[in-house]
Amino acid sequence: MTPTRFRFSVTSLERLSCPDDRKAIEVSDTDCPSLKLILTRTGSKTFWFRFVLAGTKGAMRIGTFPAWSVTDARKLAQAYREQVERGQDPRQQEEKDAALTFGQFAEEYLHYSRQHKRSHADDASKLRCWMLPRFKDCLLSSIKRRHVEAYLGELHQTHSPASVNRHLTLLSAMFRRAIAFEYLERNPCAGIARLQEAGPRQQSLTPEQAARLLDALEQDRNPIAAAALALMLYTGTRKNECLRARWEHVDLARGVWLLPRTKSGKAQHVQLSEAAVAILETLPSRQQGGWLFPGRDPRKPLADPRKTLIRALAAAGLPKGFLCIHGLRHAHASIMVGDGRRTLAEAQQALRHASSRTTQAYLHLSSESARAAVQSVADVIGEARLRRSGAPAPACHQSQKGR
């Protein structure tokens, strides 16, 4: 005879069978008596929570075994039991959760993102510009895999595979969080294949191309964005490092720029070449403090100088898509080590690459070596700009050529 009360475990529930003369049986967990499992003759096993509130019996379906583990089912039943002991009907909370919209949950998720994710600004941007217009008023529980796939398919018409994959990653993370909050039982992103991404483009600029690009940036109608792009080329800094820079972290007298938080999660210093210092000295924001490159709202940094780069590439006679913003960092590195001007070790330190075994070999280099390495980029580009203008190269450049 099958016992009706025993401690639930994976083994005990796997061995459980329904008698031939019964359509279904119900058994109880001795660790959590409110947790029940109904086993049918067909073999389906479903967890239920049963309770009595104000003299009235109630029941709530939890989920099927083994999709729901014993531990998770027991934990949820205990949480429901606590609500009952406080005089609350857990079914009312379930109804409230069932009516939760994607937009309402997005607000909760963004609060979590701001507290735990460095990429919270990117999350907010994707939600504001793309996901909320599509899903804002949809019930969270009504979003299925087919809806997500349709959204990603439409996005792919205007975005690269890498961008589409980033959207899939964010949606999946949100739905996993919703499952943790017990708003959902399953992730509608589960099983959706990521798009094949193209390999990284080895973007670079010759010194002459860099000179043409800088000349074009000087003439651009958006001087703030143009200055930010020029600074990225001269320093090899990443986009967010540059756009989120603040004046309190820049020491023009010493030629040092502090990055309080970098991709590695650590504070790092950037050595500034003479050309980089010259750009910073002419910024209008220098007298105001705050962001080096403020946006239209001076309380916020410049958002994205991509359109300025596209205009400058066209003005410099370079094809559209020839270089993305991160390509400025690659160009900085390639010019630095081109023709044996600087060693790979110096470039490694100047670009602040970290955590690989190769990087460890370069830690003995001084900041003066890093400063000289970044100065070499400005020198080489400066020579190219002088050649374009037809003026003779300064003596310091001529002497360096003869080394």
Residues 132 and 259 in one domain: no
Instruction: State residue 15 phi and psi, 5-degree precision.
Output: -80, -15
Residues 233 and 319 in one domain: yes
- As given in the structure block, the two tokens for residue 226 are 């143009």
**pLDDT of the chain, 403 residues: tens digit per residue:** 567 899 999 999 999 999 888 899 999 999 999 999 999 988 899 999 999 998 999 999 888 898 889 998 999 899 899 989 999 888 876 665 567 899 999 998 998 888 888 778 889 999 999 999 999 999 998 999 999 999 999 999 999 898 999 999 999 999 999 988 778 889 999 999 999 986 545 567 888 999 999 999 999 999 999 999 999 999 989 898 999 999 999 999 999 999 987 766 678 889 999 999 999 999 999 988 899 999 999 899 998 899 999 999 999 999 877 888 988 888 887 787 665 566 666 666 666 655 333 323 333 334 555 677 778 888 888 888 888 887 655 544 444 444 4
Instruction: Return the beta strands (E) in 253-353 as ranges.
Output: 256-259, 268-271
Q: For the chain, what is the domain count?
A: 3
19 found inside a domain: yes
DSSP calls for 44-108: -EEEEEEEEETTEEEEEEEEETTTS-HHHHHHHHHHHHHHHHTT--HHHHHHHHHT-BHHHHHHH
Residues 322 and 298 in one domain: yes
Domain that holds residue 64: 5-92
pLDDT for 344? 62
- What span, in angstroms and rounded, lies between the C-alpha atoms of 197 and 388? 38
**Quick check: 140 and 107 in contact, CB under 8 A?**
no
147 found inside a domain: yes
pLDDT for 266? 76
Which of 92, 125, 151 represents a domain boundary (last residue)?
92
Which of 220, 218, 262, 210 minimizes the C-alpha distance to 237?
262
Torsion angle of the four alpha carbons 96, 101, 103, 104, in this order, in degrees rounded to the nearest 10: 0
Residue 265: CB atoms within 10 Å: 8
201 found inside a domain: no
343 found inside a domain: yes
Residue 42: CB atoms within 10 Å: 8
- What span, in angstroms and rounded, lies between the C-alpha atoms of 105 and 110? 9
196 found inside a domain: no
Q: What is the CATH number of the domain that holds 325?
A: 1.10.443.10
276 found inside a domain: yes
Residues 244 and 156 in one domain: no
Instruction: Return the beta strands (E) in 44-151 as ranges.
Output: 45-53, 56-64
Residues 387 and 282 in one domain: yes
**Quick check: 8 and 34 in contact, CB under 8 A?**
no
| Sequence-distant (≥ 6) Cβ neighbours of residue 237 within 8 angstroms | 231, 259, 270, 329
For 203, 242, 287, 315, 377, the CA distances from 234, given in Å and listed in that order, are: 16, 11, 22, 19, 7
Residues 152 and 229 in one domain: no
Residues 231 and 317 in one domain: yes
Residues 380 and 237 in one domain: yes
- What span, in angstroms and rounded, lies between the C-alpha atoms of 80 and 90? 6
Residues 71 and 113 in one domain: no
Residues 274 and 316 in one domain: yes
29 found inside a domain: yes
Which of 68, 92, 116 represents a domain boundary (last residue)?
92
Residues 128 and 110 in one domain: yes
DSSP calls for 249-261: GEETTTTEEEESS
pLDDT for 384? 87
**Quick check: 70 and 89 in contact, CB under 8 A?**
no
Residues 219 and 351 in one domain: yes
Q: What is the CATH number of the domain that holds 42?
A: 3.30.160.390
**Quick check: 269 and 235 in contact, CB under 8 A?**
no
- As given in the structure block, the two tokens for residue 280 are 């910073």
- What span, in angstroms and rounded, lies between the C-alpha atoms of 377 and 388? 17
Q: What is the CATH number of the domain that holds 109?
A: 1.10.150
Which of 333, 403, 326 minimizes the C-alpha distance to 373?
333
pLDDT for 146? 95
